[in-house]
Structure 1
Amino acid sequence: MDSAPFSTFPDALRGKRILLCTESFGPVNGVSRTTMMLVNHLRANGANVVVVAPHTAESTFVPKELVAAPSSAQKPEIIRIHGYPLPYNPELSIVYPARLSVLYRRSFGSAPDLIYLASPASVGFQVMLQLRQQPPERQIPIICNFQTDLAGYCAILFPWPLSNLAVLAFATVQSFLFNHTSVKTIFYPSRFVRRYLEEQRVQSDKLEVLQRGVDTELFHPARRSDILRQEIAPAGEIVLICVSRLAGEKGFGFLADAARALDARGLKFKLYIVGGNRNAAVEAEIKDSFGSLSTGRGTVIFAGFRVGEALAAAYASADIFLHCSTTETFGLVVLESMASGVPVVARDEGGPSDIVRDGETGYLTPPADLTAFVDRVMTLAKDAGLRKQFSTNARAHAEQATWERINNKVAWRMVETIDQSRRERIQAGLSQTHSSQAQAEEGIGATTTTPLLARSLPINIVQTQLANARLAAGMVAISLTWVVVGAYLVFIKVGFWIKAASTSCLPGRGGI
């Protein structure tokens, strides 16, 4: 695999039918943007891709969707399935049970050549569970891309002991599903994720590193805007930037503490935070955590969502990028910042540990050491020459990570997986033929074939019923896991609503 010509797309994949299941699709977050880039690349090179993704409650991206049943000349580009939107992030949903046979019928009319699971969770878990109940000759090969640390999110968002139970539940489910023979490859983005998967006893020969690419034309130092800098820092303050969805698991508590510490040290700075949350209560809670730095003095500026050239200009117009999350499996925003020529200060945990070269393109600090983090920011803020050196190094490093090469690597693995599956089926067929011949040589003639067949029919029926029972039990287990998670998130949502309602009634807040 390492010697494959990743500069080219494999001709053998053109026309192959790929069912790509993802938990989100659109410019929602780094994971979904990565999936979009892969889908676009595969389709542009002739692969036959149908996407399965949940409906979104408040979507910023609505792709073309054909609701009519597919014919031989027409297939849907994306199949949306229903689910319950997460209160913390309505762009993501816990999907309701969906039969794999229905997805086959709605996509290609029959089984695909390969199934690709992007960051499997509520959709991916269902697909893997249903496939493992199929007989070997009907098991479609699976490639997974592990991009979201669900257990890590649960550990941060949920209170004890629910956090421990949720982490254990996800670890158990993932270990059970990933170890099945139908799962051929699990891409992982960083050493942090590989260690986690190995702890779940996933076979090492299935694991393959797959980092992410960056659009080095869009994210470029030339996007720096003097107009935007004047708007952000009219007095010439140092501009710090953070690009992230506003959510508790993204490390905003740490960032707020860092901002207060920098202010206490007398640094003249503006912290420009790009991102938001479709849940207004969550967004308000994050903003309130910065206190007077945001509400009174304007040291912290919340810019809201930015995409495309506006996002690229925000990156390039800053001096230092601050990354405070410890749950990122990769951290695409870190690479986008480096492509923009902006050095990074990040906590040394998760994906950024594999992206940032400490002392060359930025700094990595111990995850819990606020003082070390602030010290590194101060060092860069006070030394323009060092920032320029780091900026040059960061841009050079990002230029080596192109989407085309990374997506071609996925395409080559798809071809190898499809070929391997075909060879295994051929060998299985030969084994059955050889077994029949051996039985004939041992004197088992045609007269015994019919009784054996007659006896095998009830056995097959029993096996089918057992498989259905196991599938039902597994679906119930997974559904209960998501029900518990969903119930807790509903509880949180109600709490946010009550808090927002009570706040709005306070004097000076627009209440009556």
Structure 2
Amino acid sequence: MAANSAVGSSPYPKHDLSHFPSALKGKRILLCTESFGPVNGVSRTTLMLVTHLRDHGAQVAVVAPHNHTKHNTFTPPSSPLMSPADKQPEIRVTGYPLPFNPELSIVYPVRNSTLYSKTFGDDAPPDLIYLASPASLGFQVMLQLRQQPKEKQIPVICNFQTDLAGYCAILFPAPLSYFAVFAFAAVQSYLFRHASVKTIFYPSTFVKRYLVGQKVQEDKLEVLTRGVNTEMFNPTRRSEELRKQLAPNGEIIFVTVSRIAGEKGFDFLAKAAKEMDARGLNFKLYIVGGNRNADVEREVHEMFDPLREQGKVVFAGFKVGEDLATAYASGDVFLHCSVTETFGLVVLESMASGVPVIARDEGGPSDIVQHGDNGFLIPPNDLDSFVSKAMKLGQDHALRTNMGHAARAAACEATWEKINNKVAWRMADTIAESQREKSSPQVQKLSNAGLDAQQLIPIYGWLMMNDAMRENITSRIVDARLMGGLGIIVSVWMVTGWYMVFTECFLWAKGRWREAERTRRASISA
């Protein structure tokens, strides 16, 4: 989990990550993210980066979709070293919230020039664009940059934190899932391979294999793990009061922290809980998280019946800050069942809280959990082994304690300062490289190519075009290509959205039918 790990073929020099690059102070950074707030791991990671950059004097303008949830509002402080503060705005763009996860939106078409104008101004384009988990917003930004001549392109750094294709494979039925996975993979591969994209940060070897498989140039790829706030997430947050409330008879407390959604592995967790109960383990399962879609949340809750009705499974809803830290630390064992995590920040937060982890060996957690030391990694579909290890840790207090100490020690090695400094150094190096390229004779020659073409190609004279006409036609051609590309992306998102709307209606109808059935049975029993 070292923060300064690097791909051997990286063209950039290594730096002392304990220091922030002074060259980045005053630079204009346009940061586009698909969600911005303290609810999910990706958003919390982005918030910490924005705050870190601003604290050290960089100008960071944030562009994100409008909030559709009351829990997702947060504005990091402006840089104390920069003035005026309005050069560090937070711009919200319009989009349609996904029914399954309203924290994410399908952003409606927006032009890069509009984003530049609303952030740093028409006469001061950004020095660098940073895309956090690019999807509908990030795709649009990258697509438009492809249409620009080389001398006008702004360098891009991406942080690949969300496996959209993996979500599609789980959420959609075949054959729609095949189409969705192919479409997302094709769009990502096409956009990431362009020269304007200088670096793609990835959080785990699982993600690297995926990107290499999509023909993304390996010298662009750079590992970037996540850090954890070891002061917030700490064993001292353990609450005996909460433990007595949850487990008054001394039951083992298993904790899960996750957004309540089908793709998060709750079907597997429900089977594991029922199997542990069948084997006679005295436990409580404390699940922290929720979903703005009540029908989706209800569907997951019902997976745990009858254990939920018996009080053996407790859904706590959303928790943030100290309440979330207390929930982690008050558990005995953390269960992680999702196989779609590119990193798995909740795993690291649990370890920092001194709680050992049992996780399915897929995705990001495979790089975090050290099997047999601070937790256990179980083959993704091996339910029997998962249950056996959970019972082993639940029944062996000494093993649980030793693994908890090892988990805390491992988490303390992942500091946010070094990780965010690594991003800052890459930004500084990328900006410097871009400035050198734009001042080179080759690029200057390219910038005059339009004039040379007018002199060399007779068709210009034959068409009797003036400069205004040529610029107008060129603009229309670029706009046509841009709208064609946006059409493909928007079509993919529309198919996704309509399918989710259909599923939401189905879940709603199913929930109403179940309520009616329960009412009918109750009336018969009475």
Are 2:114 and 1:102 equivalent residues in the alignment?
Answer: yes
Q: CA deviation at 1:489?
A: 1.1
In structure 2, distance between residues paired with 1:472 and 1:434:
25
Partner SS state of residue 389, structure 1? helix
Partner SS state of residue 508, structure 1? helix
Which runs of 5 or more structure 2 residues have no equivalent in the other structure?
1-11, 77-82
In the TM superposition, what whole-angstrom CA distance separates every residue of 1:70-126 from its partner, at most 9, and x where no partner exists? x98733621111111111111111111111111110000131000000000000000
1:284 to 288, 292, 298: 298
One-letter amino acid of the counterpart of residue 102, structure 1: T
Are 2:273 and 1:259 equivalent residues in the alignment?
Answer: yes
In structure 2, the residue matched to 1:90 is: 102
Alignment of 1:229-378 (within 5 A): 229-295=243-309, 297-378=310-391
In the TM superposition, what whole-angstrom CA distance separates every residue of 1:44-76 from its partner, at most 9, and x where no partner exists? 1111011100012223133459xxxxx987336
In structure 1, the residue matched to 2:7 is: none
From the superposition, tell whether residues 509 and 392 of structure 1 become closer, same or farther in structure 2 (CA, over 3 Å). Answer: farther
In structure 2, the residue matched to 1:392 is: 405
The alignment yields a C-alpha RMSD, in angstroms, of 2.5
In structure 2, distance between residues paired with 1:72 and 1:359:
53
Runs of 4+ in 1 over 6 A off after TM superposition: 433-436, 509-512
Partner SS state of residue 321, structure 1? strand
Partner SS state of residue 274, structure 2? helix
In structure 2, the residue matched to 1:447 is: none
In the TM superposition, what whole-angstrom CA distance separates every residue of 1:333-383 from its partner, at most 9, and x where no partner exists? 000000000000000000000000001010001001001111111111121
In structure 2, distance between residues paired with 1:81 and 1:154:
24
Asked whether the 8 Å contact 1:63–1:78 carries over to 2, the reply is: no
Asked whether the 8 Å contact 1:64–1:77 carries over to 2, the reply is: no
2:43 to 9, 24, 32: 32
Alignment of 1:65-464 (within 5 A): 74-75=86-87, 77-110=89-122, 111-295=125-309, 297-428=310-441, 432=445, 457=467, 462-464=473-475
From the superposition, tell whether residues 104 and 189 of structure 1 become closer, same or farther in structure 2 (CA, over 3 Å). Answer: same
Higher mean C-alpha displacement, 336-345 vs 384-393: 384-393
In structure 2, distance between residues paired with 1:434 and 1:77:
32
In structure 1, distance between residues paired with 2:441 and 2:232:
49
In structure 1, distance between residues paired with 2:255 and 2:277:
15
Q: CA deviation at 1:429?
A: 5.8
From the superposition, tell whether residues 435 and 219 of structure 1 become closer, same or farther in structure 2 (CA, over 3 Å). Answer: closer
2:66 to 34, 47, 55: 55
Q: CA deviation at 1:504?
A: 4.0
In structure 2, distance between residues paired with 1:3 and 1:511:
68
Q: CA deviation at 1:428?
A: 4.2
Asked whether the 8 Å contact 1:504–1:510 carries over to 2, the reply is: no
Higher mean C-alpha displacement, 76-85 vs 367-376: 76-85
From the superposition, tell whether residues 288 and 428 of structure 1 become closer, same or farther in structure 2 (CA, over 3 Å). Answer: farther
Higher mean C-alpha displacement, 148-157 vs 103-112: 103-112
Asked whether the 8 Å contact 2:201–2:222 carries over to 1, the reply is: yes
In structure 2, distance between residues paired with 1:23 and 1:62:
13
Partner SS state of residue 349, structure 1? coil
Q: CA deviation at 1:405?
A: 0.7
Q: CA deviation at 1:138?
A: 1.1
One-letter amino acid of the counterpart of residue 389, structure 1: N
One-letter amino acid of the counterpart of residue 260, structure 1: K
In structure 2, distance between residues paired with 1:180 and 1:380:
48
From the superposition, tell whether residues 473 and 323 of structure 1 become closer, same or farther in structure 2 (CA, over 3 Å). Answer: same
In structure 1, distance between residues paired with 2:446 and 2:116:
29
In the TM superposition, what whole-angstrom CA distance separates every residue of 1:470-492 from its partner, at most 9, and x where no partner exists? 11110111111111111111111
In structure 1, distance between residues paired with 2:100 and 2:52:
31
One-letter amino acid of the counterpart of residue 22, structure 2: D
Partner SS state of residue 144, structure 1? strand
In structure 2, distance between residues paired with 1:298 and 1:227:
17
Partner SS state of residue 239, structure 1? strand
Partner SS state of residue 303, structure 1? strand
Partner SS state of residue 413, structure 1? helix
Q: CA deviation at 1:285?
A: 0.6
In structure 1, distance between residues paired with 2:178 and 2:448:
50
One-letter amino acid of the counterpart of residue 391, structure 1: G
What TM-score, normalized to structure 2?
Answer: 0.90
Q: CA deviation at 1:208?
A: 0.1
From the superposition, tell whether residues 244 and 299 of structure 1 become closer, same or farther in structure 2 (CA, over 3 Å). Answer: same
Q: CA deviation at 1:467?
A: 2.0
In structure 2, distance between residues paired with 1:460 and 1:77:
32
Higher mean C-alpha displacement, 219-228 vs 464-473: 464-473
Higher mean C-alpha displacement, 76-85 vs 265-274: 76-85
Which runs of 5 or more structure 1 residues have no equivalent in the other structure?
66-70, 445-449
Higher mean C-alpha displacement, 308-317 vs 176-185: 308-317
Asked whether the 8 Å contact 1:341–1:392 carries over to 2, the reply is: yes
Q: CA deviation at 1:145?
A: 0.1
Partner SS state of residue 134, structure 1? coil
From the superposition, tell whether residues 435 and 332 of structure 1 become closer, same or farther in structure 2 (CA, over 3 Å). Answer: closer
Asked whether the 8 Å contact 2:158–2:200 carries over to 1, the reply is: yes
Are 2:26 and 1:12 equivalent residues in the alignment?
Answer: no
Asked whether the 8 Å contact 2:437–2:443 carries over to 1, the reply is: no
In structure 2, the residue matched to 1:473 is: 484
Q: CA deviation at 1:137?
A: 1.3
From the superposition, tell whether residues 288 and 433 of structure 1 become closer, same or farther in structure 2 (CA, over 3 Å). Answer: closer
In structure 2, distance between residues paired with 1:281 and 1:434:
56
Asked whether the 8 Å contact 1:503–1:509 carries over to 2, the reply is: no
In structure 2, distance between residues paired with 1:239 and 1:249:
24
Asked whether the 8 Å contact 2:438–2:444 carries over to 1, the reply is: no
In the TM superposition, what whole-angstrom CA distance separates every residue of 1:481-510 from its partner, at most 9, and x where no partner exists? 111111111111222232333344445389
Q: CA deviation at 1:462?
A: 4.4
